Structure 1
Amino acid sequence: MKRIYISGPMTGLPDLNYPAFNAAAELLRAEGYDVENPAENQAPPCGSWEGYMRLALVQLARCEGVLVLPGYRKSKGACLELFIAPKLGLQVALHTDAESIADLRWLQA
């Protein structure tokens, strides 16, 4: 697995939870992964939630795995991504420890 998408809650959180997304991306990149981080996306022209999700789903489709950040169950976007991921054959890992990416336990797709 080389390319990983980061999924998690954004809406309603301070700074849209970008610090958590960016910290996870930094750790993944340090381990040699290519990372699709939706927190790095430019705003879509429409600026809507749907527009952001269209960008995110394209990113998701390019990956072999998904790293899921805490709080994902309260995010309709993350839940949508996690519904689609196994149907695309992606592996999923829950990220609970911001210190260690190397010890992730990947769930079967």
Structure 2
Amino acid sequence: MLIYLSGPMSGIKEYNYPAFRSTARDLRENGYKVINPAEIKPIEQTWEGFMKADIKALMDCTTVVMLPGWESSKGAQLERHIAEALGMEIFELSEFQTSQGRKRR
């Protein structure tokens, strides 16, 4: 299982990086492999450039974990739409933590 984190960034203090980093750290400590878009550095430093780099990373994953507030994010909505169209597993963060029992995978 390779997890992609999806959630709001634009318009949020520090681009919501603290929430992305904390979630990635927690999941990794529980044995999961995680792609954290806050760690991706695109060539083009625009919204479109970030989305292109993030979507490329999403394509390597099997599972998407949605961070709180994703519903208000145009980018997270797009990532979720792509994941749904490709039949990937999609979880809200709280749902994932409950369903996986925070055990190593």
What interval of TM-score do these two structures reach, taking the shorter chain for normalisation? 0.7 to 0.9
Hey, what's the Cα distance between the residues in 1 that align with 2:75 and 2:60? Answer: 17
**Equivalenced residues, count:** 100
Greater helix share, structure number: 2
The answer (yes or no) to whether the contact 1:66–1:90 under 8 Å persists in 2 is: yes
1:5 maps to which residue? Answer: 4
Hey, what's the Cα distance between the residues in 2 that align with 1:10 and 1:30? Answer: 23
Q: 1:50 aligns with which of 27, 39, 48?
A: 48
Amino acid at match of 2:15: L
Amino acid at match of 1:72: W
Amino acid at match of 1:64: T
Superimposed CA distance per residue, residues 15-55 of structure 1 (whole angstroms, 9 cap, x where no aligned partner): 1000000111011111211101000112x232110000001
Amino acid at match of 2:58: L
Structure 1: runs of 5 or more not aligned:
none
Structure 1 SS opposite 2:58: helix
The answer (yes or no) to whether the contact 1:68–1:93 under 8 Å persists in 2 is: yes
1:59 maps to which residue? Answer: 57
Structure 1 SS opposite 2:80: helix
Hey, what's the Cα distance between the residues in 2 that align with 1:31 and 1:89? Answer: 25
| TM-score normalized with structure 1 length | 0.85
1:70 maps to which residue? Answer: 68
**Alignment RMSD, CA only?**
1.7
How far the C-alpha of 1:81 sits from its partner, in A, is: 0.3
Amino acid at match of 1:40: E
Hey, what's the Cα distance between the residues in 2 that align with 1:55 and 1:104? Answer: 29
| TM-score normalized with structure 2 length | 0.88
- Identical-residue share of aligned pairs (%): 43
How far the C-alpha of 1:71 sits from its partner, in A, is: 0.6
